[in-house]
Amino acid sequence: MPVAVVSNFGWDMRRVFRAHGVDDLVDAYFLSFECGVEKPDPRIFQMACDELEVAPGKALMVGDEPAADAGTTALGCQVHLVEPLPVDERPDAPAEVLRLL
């Protein structure tokens, strides 16, 4: 299953993924400061779908910012929102997503 990270972070988060040993789980990164467009603009989500060769209707966006992450709905993507809490306070969030898939 192809995975992309789409983020409005203003710095390169790849090193964080590498430091945690999970960078091999991500196929592509779409960081707003590199793409010149930021969420909720559907273009950044379309870029991710195009790179992964996934039709938007087959894509699932998982996020924690309703206003920003809902931009995918304009493309027909499904959206699953998790609580906007620190990761260690939402340990079941990945299991929720896996059940959806």
34 contacts 59 by C-beta, under 8 angstroms: no
Judge if the upstream peptide bond of residue 42 is cis by omega within 30 degrees of 0: no
Dihedral pair phi/psi, residue 79, rounded to 5°: -130, 135
Q: Quote the pLDDT of residue 93.
A: 80
Sign of CA dihedral 16, 20, 21, 24: negative
94 contacts 84 by C-beta, under 8 angstroms: no
Q: What is the mean pLDDT of each run of 10 residues along the chain (101 residues)?
A: 94 94 96 96 97 96 91 92 86 81 76
Residues 6 or more apart from 4 whose CB is under 8 A from it?
A: 26, 27, 28, 29, 30, 48, 51, 52
Q: Quote the pLDDT of residue 97.
A: 82
Question: Virtual CA dihedral for 4, 69, 40, 67, nearest 10 degrees?
Answer: -160
Can you give the pTM of this predicted structure?
0.88
Q: Quote the pLDDT of residue 19.
A: 96
